[in-house]
A and B are shown apart, each in its own frame.
Chain A
Amino acid sequence: MEMKFDGEFKIDLPREEVFEILSNPEKFAPLFPTFHSMEMKDERTANLKVKVGIGRIIATSTTELTLEEAVPPLRARYVGKGNVMQGAYQMVSSFDLEEVDGGTLVKWQAETTLVGKILSIAGGGLRGYAEKEINKLITSLQEALSPEAQAAKLQAQAQYRGWFSRLIQFLFGTDKNKVTTPENVPAATADSVSYAPHPADAMTIKQESKQKIDHILNAKRIEKRLGRKEDKRLITGRGLFVDDHQPAGSLHMCLVRSPYAHAKILSIDVSKAEALAGVICTITGKEVAELTQPFTQIGPEPSALIQDFCLAVDKVRHQGDPIVAVIAESKHIAADAAQLVEVDYETLPVVITCEDALKDETVLHDPAGTNLTWQGVYDYGDVDKAFEEAKHIVKIDHLKFHRFSSTALESNAVVATWDKRDEIDFFCNTIMTVPIAMIAPALNVRSDQIRLRTHDIGGAFGNKIGNYPYMTLAALASRKAGGLPVKWVETRSEYMQAGGHGSERNFYDTEVALDKDGVITALRSRHVDDCGAYPRYEPLGCVIWAQVLPASYKLRNVHIDFSQVVTNKGPCAPNRGYSRLPHMWFMERVMDICGHELGIPADEIRLRNYIDEFPYTTPNGCVYDSGDFVAMLNKAKEVIGWDEWKEKQKQARAEGRCLGIGIGTTLDSGTNNFAQSQIINPFLPFSSNSVVSTIKLDLDGSVSVCVSTFPQGQGHETTASQVVAEELGLDTDFVHVKTGFDTERNSHSGTSGTYASQFAVTGLSAVHGAVVKIKNEMKKLAAHALEANEDDLEFGIGEQGPEVRVVGTNKGVNYWALSNMVNYNKASLPEELREISLNVRHTYVPPFEAPDLEKKYGNLTLTYAMQLHIAVVEVDTDTYKSKVLDYAIVDDCGKVINHMIVEGQVHGGAAHGLGAALVEIMPFDKEGNVLAGSFTDYAPITINSMPDLKCANTETPSPFSYNGAKGMGEGGGAPLHSISAAIQDALYDKGVIIQHSHNSPMYLYEYVTNKLMEPVTVESR
């Protein structure tokens, strides 16, 4: 195939100068549009590497570029030869120079000849491609030859090494460095009405700051490799979060919510709302109860009898309980109309505390007849005997883990479309596939009628599992509105009332048996969880904590009576560290309180109790895969400067200052065995876990991967591409991981999702399994194409891009060709290879067995990442405000796949823990009013209150994952432990025992003034 192109352009430079550049291969070669690098073979010949490609198949091709003819100052002619994509090409370009008007007319010609397989790749498309590339070459040549470029070249000569980079610098600099002067700024027209509140005397300052912004905006730009695959869209404002999705004709839903925490709904009048122009329809609870089934309850009877619909039907059970949905053409009209809905209530007594809930004097859910959603006893070893033999018994009346939330910055949201073909599309930010199992039965549809998809998610931290009632409601609204898309975006105030907070937990009547050395031998306790008004994902939390039953410690005799109640507060949802975090905090409190009572230092009592052999089977059958607490403690001490702080503490105490040092050891159990849900309800048909990934060579051979997770910042696109690239011997740029989740990709199972710290294990194992499968297929095809033995093949990048080749040779077949055999050229394949699809799906299933439900015994999670934190805190004795003076974290999540991402997760988890420990709490008054109804009240931790974290890691690879990694995204909330410990240590001489996980100044003041303290006693024999 031959292609010819020609043209001419004029340049304002003398002909001799133009010729000088054109006839110098060293200067000419870098003008190629996809120039990569070059080496001069001799004076006339350059070996240059250029990137060549159609679509996604981009290869680096070596071209030998020779100056064949140079007639000063009239003519220069180059011949370029190279190989690309199993073919060869030759390009002859010639330049004839004529003098015109003091400048030079450059007449150019380019002839390209192609032979071989490359022709079949794109056929006719190649002409367009080649023309575009040649035009680019000519344009860069024109730019390089411009007098400005020549001037800049001289100016910049000393500054930069290469001619080409100088050119690039200059080209970018010419328009980018221009500072917009005030004169260039268009002023507001004189007759326009300006509402701008800026006083006239501020104008000068304003102009200055505008100029400064313009100046910094016009800074030089140099291409650099980005940190993660996800980043480009997110730093440019091109992410696609739910509210960014604005399909044409979208309607908007606004909810009328209850102002009361507990009340009967006597009547609802929507007539005024429906009469407002722009309102499409309304939906009430009564209608919902007719149209839908109540959501499936996870708990056994009687909590299975709870009737939970997407709107309150005859009773509201928490402030913010949704009652009516208003659907309108705009969100403002919907909000206006919602205010016109009239509801009559009859208030009922309110249940706020666990103690009141347990009394059942007021019952939230009449069909259940009790506020208790679950109760069970976890009993292991011989607790009574251990107590009989104990040297010391420490009794702690009450410890309390408070309600807070990681409050993802993007709230719950959905765009639902229930079209006239009865297909339901959810563009949403849920985080697992479980909602499908909730929504489909509620709406009386098949699960395959539901398309569930996500794109970018603005954080979730578990909370967004609670989005499904709203998704259900939006779908109903869309159907009622005739199939138009209905968008609902929760406001922050709505989230603070009802969006899914972490649950509260009370620890009552704790008794700890210790031997003479301070080794804990047994523990007895009664735990009551408060899950808010509707269980939703609960009562799973009643077993999830048992993944870390003995925490980091060796005790074998445990008796915990665990129950959960509903109260008139917003429904809870899993929150980072779900259910394990309250338990870990409890165990760390137990450790520090025992240490305090027996006079054993915090580090010493831990060293006496830490588990020190791995794998370790806990009293309830969980297997801690690997770890080394002692090494972590030593490292954390080293990082923070333990001895120096101990010295400083002595000094501070001598000065009457309250300075404390606290340790928090925590576990992040990852990869659930869903069979644990049967400990809650033996009728639940769940066990083990499965995660899917798909990988294919697309039609043009590009590598396309789907993971079945719902990432929200964890960088799954990046780490999945690392795994694939490593297996295929490629750069991650060649691997394309689809953003977000989509049921239509057919790459999910019922337990797919982003939860329970598992991607590094389940997600990456699935990706790895898929890439191994596709490699086998690729090898078979390549062996056929290359007439080679499969065992003699290797994967890598060659001159033709990603390829499979005979080891140590350049005899290879690239991905395009492999895909072509399968997708377009089946007849070229022998019968036995025609089944190959290069489109594979792999399901990873962790090696779990069913637990013994009677004994509540079995392995509940696969991996255990660990963190050890040390906090140094000073409490101001006038204000009782705590200040973190120093903070160290040592993380062990097994083999680290991506250090940057892991450290980011460690930081984030620590911020949530510190926020909760020091500032964040969701309080309610006795009427059930939400007291932190906005961010302004809740005050999530800011950059100002966040201390500097000193991080380090240890690595004990997990024996249970193919890559030695452990899931680690939840962090285990160690700051809650370490801050409670440090504050207790700070207030040591005031007799304070920290009994609440929240430590804001009011709490500390109340400890010191004895209003908050509940009894802690020790009996020694």
Chain B
Amino acid sequence: MSESTQLVPITVTVNGKAYQREVEPRLLLVEFIRATLGLTGTHIGCDTSYCGACTIIVDGDTVKSCTLLAVQADGSEILTVEGLEQDGELHPLQQAFSQNHGLQCGFCTPGMLMSSLALLAENPDPDIKDIRKRLAGNICRCTGYQNIIKSVQAAAKSLRED
């Protein structure tokens, strides 16, 4: 940071826990989450907001956290992949991805999970077209997407039967 940079205090709640930090105004939200808070489940796969590996949920909206500055998230409530597991128990969506082989290397998976969670929150019974449309901003280079679609469908079914 250059000497003249002023730090800005921000407060965010991430996965239910409140954090107060002083950040550079230029710090990206994804860098804040990864490097400042040490929550490295959210990944960076490109520089142009194309890949979606950094997708998180901010105040109920899915966002690519490389497109927001940390200071823009001041006062917000954030959910990252680390917030899906509760007390050591996996969310049905996480289980569905594993059981349907919806991940291989796992690098895109956190973003996929967050986008899928938001999809299912809005639409408990999505058809394949809905899934394709909603996940079009998340790139996976391993699975060819077939099993990601299957995973989301399986999660939807399991959540509906809940």
Contact = CB atoms under 8 A, between A and B. Distances in A.
A159 interface: no
Contacts of B118: 209, 213
A943 interface: yes
A228 B101 contact: yes
Contact of A944 (B44, B107, B132, B142): B132
B108 to A, nearest CB: 5
B80 A237 contact: yes
Interface stretch (A147-155, A190-198, A366-374, A818-826): A190-198
Contacts of A193: 8, 74
A942 B75 contact: no
Interface stretch (A20-28, A46-54, A71-79, A402-410): A402-410
A409 B51 contact: yes
Interface string A562-575: 00000000000000
Given A230-B106, A243-B40, A901-B101, A911 B143 contact: yes
Given A409-B108, A409-B141, A456-B106, A196 B101 contact: no
A160 interface: no
Nearest to A223: B89
Interface string B100-130: 1101111111100100011011100000100
Contacts of B109: 234-235
A888 to B, nearest CB: 13
A240 B106 CA distance: 10
A234 B53 CA distance: 13
Contacts of A944: 132-133, 136
A701 interface: no
Interface string B13-30: 100001000001011000
Contacts of B10: 192
A385 interface: no
Interface in A796-824: none
Given A231-B103, A410-B107, A903-B101, A237 B74 contact: no
Interface in A252-279: 276-278
A225 B13 CA distance: 32
A251 to B, nearest CB: 14
Contacts of B136: 942-944
Contacts of B107: 239, 241, 408-410, 456, 458-459
A224 B95 contact: yes
Nearest to B94: A235
Interface in A681-722: 712-715
A197 B89 CA distance: 35
A990 interface: no
Nearest to A197: B72
B99 A226 contact: yes
Q: Which of B41, B104, B143 has the most CB of A within 10 A?
A: B104
Contacts of A934: 46-48, 50
Contacts, number: 280
A458 B105 contact: yes
Interface in B74-99: 74-77, 79-86, 89-92, 94-95, 97-99
A409 B140 contact: yes
Given A408-B105, A410-B43, A935 B24 contact: no
Interface stretch (A329-337, A504-512, A603-611): A329-337
A910 B41 contact: no
Contacts of B143: 904, 907-908, 911
Nearest to A939: B50
Contact of B144 (A188, A195, A901, A907): A907
A298 to B, nearest CB: 27
Nearest to A187: B75
A162 interface: no
> A-side binding surface: helix, strand, loop or mixed?
loop
A745 interface: no
Nearest to B53: A409
Given A457-B105, A492-B48, A944-B136, A911 B144 contact: yes
Interface in A196-214: 196-198, 206-213
A208 B82 CA distance: 23
Given A197-B72, A234-B109, A492-B48, A946 B145 contact: yes
Interface in A523-570: none
Contacts of A940: 139, 141
A492 B1 contact: no
B146 A948 contact: yes
A292 to B, nearest CB: 30
A458 B43 contact: yes
A132 interface: no
Nearest to A910: B144
A978 to B, nearest CB: 15
B98 A196 contact: no
Given A492-B48, A900-B101, A944-B132, A237 B8 contact: no
Contacts of B41: 236-239
A189 B117 CA distance: 29
A449 interface: no
Given A713-B104, A910-B144, A235 B18 contact: no
A158 interface: no
A209 B74 contact: no
Contacts of B76: 188, 196
A276 B141 contact: no
B18 A210 contact: no
Interface string A935-954: 11001101110101100000
A236 B84 contact: yes
A234 B97 CA distance: 10
A221 B91 contact: yes
Contacts of A712: 104-105
A729 B65 CA distance: 47
Contacts of B148: 943
Contacts of A123: none
A36 interface: no
Nearest to A951: B146
A344 to B, nearest CB: 26
Contacts of B159: 216, 219
B46 A227 contact: no
A198 B120 contact: no
A332 B59 contact: no
A650 interface: no
Q: Which of B77, B97, B105, B143 has the most CB of A within 10 A?
A: B105
A330 B48 contact: no
B74 A188 contact: yes
A170 B139 CA distance: 38
A982 B45 CA distance: 33
A219 B92 contact: yes
A278 B79 CA distance: 33
12 contacts: A172-B89, A188-B74, A188-B76, A212-B122, A227-B99, A232-B98, A241-B43, A246-B38, A458-B107, A935-B48, A948-B146, A949-B144
Given A188-B74, A459-B142, A713-B106, 11 more contacts: A195-B72, A208-B60, A213-B118, A216-B120, A235-B90, A236-B81, A237-B110, A407-B141, A456-B105, A492-B48, A943-B145
Interface of A: 172, 176, 185-189, 192-198, 206-213, 215-217, 219-228, 230-241, 243-244, 246, 276-278, 330, 332-333, 336, 406-411, 456-459, 461, 491-493, 712-715, 900-901, 903-904, 907-912, 934-936, 939-940, 942-944, 946, 948-949
The 10 closest A-B pairs by CB, nearest first: A237-B41, A188-B75, A234-B106, A458-B107, A713-B104, A713-B105, A209-B60, A911-B144, A907-B144, A210-B60
